[in-house]
Structure formats: C-alpha cells, structure tokens
Amino acid sequence: MSSLKNVEEKHDVIVVRTTGYFNNEAGDAVLGVCNEKMENGKSKFLIDMEDSTVVNSIGVSVLIEIIEQLQEIDGAMAFINLAPIVEKTFNIMGITKYCTVYASEDEAIEKLS
Amino acid sequence: MKNKSFQDLEKELLKNNEDLTNKFLELETLLDLTNTINSQEDLKSLFFNILTISSSILNSSKGTILIRDQVSKIFNPISAFNMEDEKIKKQIFNTKKGFLNDLNQEKKVSIIEVDQHPNMSVFESEYAIAGPLMNKNKLVGVILLFNKESRSGYVNFDENDKKLLDGIAKQSSIAYQNILLLESLIKANQLNENIMSSITTGVIEVNLFGEIEFANKESLRILEMDTSDILGNHYHYIFEKNKNLIKIIERVELEKKSVFELDFELQSKKKKVMTNLSCSPVFNDKNDFSGIVVAIDDQSKINKIKSTFKKYVSKNIVDKLLDNEDSLNLGGKESDVTILFSDIRGFTSMSEKLEPTEIVEVLNRYFKEMIKVVFEFNGTLDKIVGDELMVLYGAPLENDNDCDDAVNTAIKMFESLEKFNAEVVKDGFKPIEIGIGINKGKVVSGNIGSDQQMNYTVIGDSVNLGSRLCSNAKPGELLISNFVKENLKKNYNFKKIPSIMVKGKAKPIEVWSYKHSN
C-alpha cells in the first residue's frame, strides 16, 4: 500500500502529499523523500495530510526525526489539511512546537519560500 | 547507594516525560473514542471509527472487527483497517475452534500466539491482540489488531496494550448494544407505522395533555384533515364540531374505561360520516394512565360496498364476503362455476310493436322480478345484455350447491314469469316467454376490462356452451348440459334430448330438458 500520493516542488518548497494510515511505513516513506531532497539541497517541506486522517505515535516519531534533521540544516517543515484528531495528536506529542500548521497551501508556500 | 549522576537524572526525566506524554495521548484518544462511538448511528461507521482509533492508540499496523452473524454464528469481518478484507471474508471463524474458542472461554483481552492458530495465517501478521465485544456475557464480536509498530520493526503487544484494548472493547460493546437497540427500535417503529397506515380503521392517539400525538392515514381521510392540521393540537380544538366525541374522550379520561359507540355520527370537515367508534385508555408499563386511543371505523364505506354489491349479488353473499374477504376471488383465476343464461323469446318482434319507453318499462319490471329470484338462490348477476340475463353460481364465492341453485332459479323464474305475465297482460302488454340454458365447467373468473371500465365476469368455452343451450331452448324450456345433470343433488323432471354439436367440440354435447307446465 503506497503511503505517498505525490511529491512536487513549488517555489523551492517540497510538497509531500500522504495517503492512508500515517504509521511507521508512511513515516519511512516521507523520511525517504526528505532525505533524498535534503541531499539535493532542499530544506523546506510541506506535508499535506488531507488523505491521512489516522496517525499513530510511531508515524509521528518519524516526523520528529525528520524535523531534528531539518533543524541541523536550518530547514523547516509545515503541515496543511490536518484532521482535528491528527492535529490533536501532533499537539500532544509536541510536534507543533517545532513546525507550523497552515490553513492553506498557498499561505504555507508563501511563508516557507 | 550510589548517587545518580546528573546525566542519569536527565535521562530519567526525559524518559518520564515521554511516558507521561504517551499516557496523556492514550487518555485523550480514549476520550476521543468515547465521544466518537457514542455519536455513531450506524454500525459500519461505529466499527470503522473503533478500528482506526484503536489502531492509532495501540500503534498497530492494521486491524479488523469480526461480528457474529445471529443465524450462522459465524464471525464475519464488518470492518477492516489498512488491510484487504477479501481473503478474510473467505475464512470461517467461529467459537468452535481457534483463537475465538479461547476468547469465548476467557472473555477478556488476549495477546494471541499467532503460530498456534492456523486460521490466523489469513491475516499475514506476526503479532495479534484480540479484544472481545460482549453482549449479556456472550461473545458477539472481536476487535483484532495486528503487528505493533516500533522504529525497529514489528513487536508484540504488551500488558499496557491489553489494558488499553480492554477499555476500548468494553466501551465498544456498549456502543454496539446501543446501536442494535436503536436499530430494532427504528424497525419496530417502521413496522408500527406500516401497520397503522395500512389498516382500514382510523386510529388517533391523544396524550396526557389532550394533544393529538398520532393519527393514521385512515383517520386523516375520515376527518378530511392533514397531519399538520391535527398533530400537536388539543382534541377540544380538533373535534370542536363533535361535542359528543369530546364528551366520550372526557369520560374515558375520567373513568379510565373503554367506551364503544355504534353508528356514531362524526362530523368531518365537510360532511357527516357514520362510524363505529371506540375510545380506550392507554396505560404505560407501570400501569399509569398515559393517554387515549380513538379508533374509528367508517361505516359509510362498508355501507357503500354493501349497496354496490347488492346490485349484483344476494345479501347473504355480500355479508359472507365482508365477513371473510379471503374467500373473495376477484383476480384472474380458473374456477369451476355454473352459468345460467335466459332470454326472452320473440323479443325483437315484441319490441317492434312497442314504443321505446314501453319496452324499457316492461323490461325493467321483468328484470326486477327475475333478479329477485336470482338472489333468492345465491346467484351473482353477471350482466344484462338487451333481453338476456347471465347469472353465475359458485363465483365469486364457491358454493357446493351451485347446480341445484341454478336449476331452482330457472324453475322459479318460470313460475314468477307466470305471475308477471298476469300483471302485464292487465296493463295491455303481451305475455313474455323465456328460454333458459345452464352449463357448468371451468372458466377464468376475475375483474376483466380496462382501467376505464372493469367488470367481474367469467370467460371460457363453458360460458359459450351455456349461451348456446339458452339459444336452443324453446319458450318455457330449460336446457342443461350433462355436467350440470351429474352435479344435481335433487331429482328434477329432466328428460334427455338429442345431443347438440357445439363449435370447437369434436363430440356432440349431451343435453337434458325441463319443460315448465302452466
């Protein structure tokens, strides 16, 4: 089951759209994309989770790993289209302290780029 | 005891902080689960939400919920999360063996040893945990979660997961019971509504405050009102033109006893309706008075049916039909009936000598006398065509005596005709002579015609033969076929005459004759 819907670049920001259960597998898939893009010098990532309405703590811990890596290279990660229950999990796990949740993709791209 | 180093303390604090965060997340997720499952109104969304939330909280990679079929007792997947359920659907799960057998005995959350249960292989998982869904201490379903995730790969579920799933399974069991109850309540209500809207008695329910809480279709028709006119309004307002009904309801409120009224005149919006009415108190399960039910039977409808039918059949047949509607056969059906035809001999030459108004007068007087005889012997008047009368016996109600009834009708018709002739001759008309033919056989009976005009009648060869016998009968003669003769229970003065050939029949038909003597 593929966890990534698509990956595209907009104004130097890598937009990663996920799909389905955001668990270890989905986290690893996002980590793979981020690592590859970081090697190519990219440091701004926007994760669109419109089609991922269920997350588990392992998936979130992978996101934290990515954010740690991004902090080392002065990069940033942001999120859009979070389901309320996902946003709540992010808040509890503290992920939103290190990255922003935007109301729209346009706003996120503008702020990140 | 060795003092902990600063680094050890920092690690411990970080670990405690992580544990606290996880506990907080678990608590919040459990609260979410409570809110979510209590707001679900259908089973599919309930189980899907349970699965996603429990998978999320237990970090399982996938899951499914199996629910016991009430008839087959097989546990079928009702929801699957992050896995294909096609394979699972083909596997039979029941409490006779496998992990469900253990779960049914233990009735508590258990970590399943996947290797020890062959029917678990269908889930293609290394680790599994099962939470029982219970109803009245019976296993009715199971939440199955697979492969707990960690950053180093899949790991087995632990005691903490068992506690969490136990909470989830208990809440889910209650939610499942509630939804089943709600569904059965909705079904019962629908059934009640269907019954109420299909019955031919008007039913009105008045609550403790005197407000009309329910009115079925028939009551709205009788009162010529809409639901919006009647529901929620006080009966004093709705029945303001029916002071007597108000008094009856008040009496029932006071005495808490049923009241029955026959031939009760009810004033609807535009007209008066003759009804049979009953007004009964309603008591709840604690035997407290909780309202009144008014049942109204529209008698005008029954009277209309009676008066319409009585033009075609005798009173006793109408009463039998109304008493037992199942005996009425108005759809197309092959049945065995006896058919009587009679017509006036020389009617054409007679009518040429009379004025049209005189023809109508004589015919009306003649038919009035003849039809009286028809009904006396339980005949059903099928049709009158010109001077011809067609009468059925054994339809629409079966009758063992139909041949004797038909023959007795014919004999009495001859006798009545004598009296009739004596009267009309006095009035200056010529006497009438008739010939009668009777046959018995299989016919197709039912309502035949188009949407515009439809009549209950019979068709078939047997009908044609009856008509043919009538045509062959001389004035004052009754001709019957052998089928009628064989079915007569009494002896009549019939004589065999030469057989006749009938179109469509290879062999000649045996015929018996009865001649009326003055």
What is the tens place of the pLDDT at every residue in B179-222?
Answer: 888 888 888 888 888 787 778 889 999 998 899 999 998 899 99
Residue A7 has what pLDDT?
96
Q: What share of chain B is helix, strand, coil (3-state, %, to 5)?
A: 45, 30, 25
Q: Which amino acid is at B301?
A: K
For residues A102 and A78, is the Cβ–Cβ distance under 8 A? yes
The whole-chain average pLDDT of chain A stands at: 93
Contact at CB, A54 and B55, closer than 8 angstroms: yes
Which residues in chain B touch residue A25, judged by CB atoms under 8 angstroms apart? 61
> DSSP character for A22?
B
Contact at CB, A89 and B81, closer than 8 angstroms: no
Q: CA of A22: which chain B residue's CA is closest?
A: B56
B82: nearest CB among A21, A53, A57: A21
- Closest approach of chain A CAs to the CA of B153, in angstroms? 9
> DSSP character for B324?
-
pLDDT over 70 at B436, yes or no: yes
Highest mean pLDDT among B69-78, B241-250, B382-391: B241-250
Residue A92 has what pLDDT?
84
Which CATH number belongs to the domain containing residue A68 in this structure?
Answer: 3.30.750.24
Contact at CB, A54 and B59, closer than 8 angstroms: no
Range of the domain at A26: 4-112
Confidence of residue B299 (pLDDT cuts 50, 70, 90): confident
Q: Which has more confidence, B381 or A73? A: A73
Query: Pairing state of beta strands A13-19 and A44-51?
Result: parallel
Residue B314 has what pLDDT?
62
For residues B17 and B48, is the Cβ–Cβ distance under 8 A? no
Q: Which residues contact B247 (CB under 8 A, 6 or more apart)?
A: none
Q: Could you give the CA distance from residue A49 to residue A29 in angstroms, rounded to a whole number?
A: 13
Query: Pairing state of beta strands B433-449 and B333-345?
Result: antiparallel
Average pLDDT of the segment spanning A12-16? 96
Helix, strand or coil for residue B287? Answer: coil
Confidence of residue B2 (pLDDT cuts 50, 70, 90): low
The strand ranges marked E within B374-415 are 380-385, 388-393
Contact at CB, B82 and A62, closer than 8 angstroms: no
- Closest approach of chain B CAs to the CA of A57, in angstroms? 7
The percent of residues in chain A predicted with pLDDT above 90, rounded, is 79
Residue B134 has what pLDDT?
94
Residue A2 has what pLDDT?
76
Judge whether A18 is closer than 8 Å to chain B, CB to CB: no
For residues B438 and B407, is the Cβ–Cβ distance under 8 A? yes
pLDDT over 60 at B329, yes or no: no
Name which of B296-300, B314-318, B355-359, B366-370 the model is least confident about.
Answer: B314-318
Of chain A, the end-to-end C-alpha distance in Å amounts to 32
pLDDT over 80 at B147, yes or no: yes
Query: How many Cβ contacts (< 8 angstroms) between chains A and B?
Result: 54
Number of structural domains found in chain A? 1
Helices B315-323/B299-309 angle, 10° precision: 140
pLDDT over 60 at B1, yes or no: no
Q: Could you give the CA distance from residue B508 to residue B518 in angstroms, rounded to a whole number?
A: 31
Residue B308 has what pLDDT?
62
Residue B130 has what pLDDT?
96
Contact at CB, B32 and A88, closer than 8 angstroms: yes
Judge whether A62 is closer than 8 Å to chain B, CB to CB: yes
Q: Which residues contact B277 (CB under 8 A, 6 or more apart)?
A: B245, B248, B260, B261, B264, B266, B294, B295, B296, B297
Q: What is the ipTM of this complex?
A: 0.74
The whole-chain average pLDDT of chain B stands at: 85
Residue B478 has what pLDDT?
95
Q: At CB < 8 A and 24+ separation, what contacts does B39-48 make? A: B40/B175, B40/B179, B41/B179, B41/B182, B42/B179, B43/B67, B43/B78, B43/B176, B43/B179, B43/B183, B44/B78, B44/B79, B46/B172, B46/B175, B46/B176, B46/B179, B47/B78, B47/B79, B48/B79, B48/B81
Contact at CB, A23 and B22, closer than 8 angstroms: no
Which residues in chain A touch residue B34, judged by CB atoms under 8 angstroms apart? none
Residue B121 has what pLDDT?
87
pLDDT digits over B85-114, tens only?
787 887 888 898 889 999 999 999 999 999
pLDDT digits over B54-87, tens only?
999 899 999 999 999 888 888 999 999 998 878 7
